[in-house]
Amino acid sequence: MKVPKMLIDYTLRFGIPIALCYAYWDPKSDEEIRRDVESKIKPDLEARKKKQAKFAELLLQKDGISSESKQQLDQVTAFTKTKEQYLADRKNDK
C-alpha cells in the first residue's frame, strides 16, 4: 500500500505536535487562577464594591424589572461566594 507523501508530511507537521501538546497540557481551574492572581494583586474591596454598584445601577436602569431579575442581579453582582458555595446554595434552593 502506497502512502501519499502529503499525508506523511502533514502527520509529521501537525499530528505529532498536537499529540505532544495534548499529552502535556495541564489546564488550571478557575479557582487556581483566581488564587494566583489575588496572591500577586491584592483585591481592593472598596474599588470592587464601587464597580459592582455601578454595574448593578446600569442594569437596573431599565423600567419594569421584575423582583426575580433583581434577585438574580444581586446574586451576580455580589461576587462574594465561591463556586462551591453558590452550587451548594442552588442545590438547597431546589
DSSP sequence for 19-83: HHHHHH--PPPHHHHHHHHHHHS---HHHHHHHHHHHHHHHTTSTT--HHHHHHHHHHHH--S-H
pLDDT greater than 80 at residue 13: yes
Number of domains making up the chain: 1
Banded model confidence at residue 82, pLDDT cuts 50, 70, 90: low
Please write the tens of the pLDDT for every residue from 22-69.
888 888 888 888 888 888 887 677 887 887 777 777 766 666 667 777
pLDDT above 80 (res 75): no
**Domain enclosing residue 76, as ranges:** 5-93
In the block, which residue shows the cell 461576587?
79
Q: Is the pLDDT of residue 9 over 80?
A: yes
Q: What is the mean pLDDT of residues 62-78?
A: 69
Cα–Cα–Cα angle for 69, 75, 78, rounded to 5 degrees: 135
pTM as predicted: 0.29
pLDDT of 87 > 80? The answer is: no
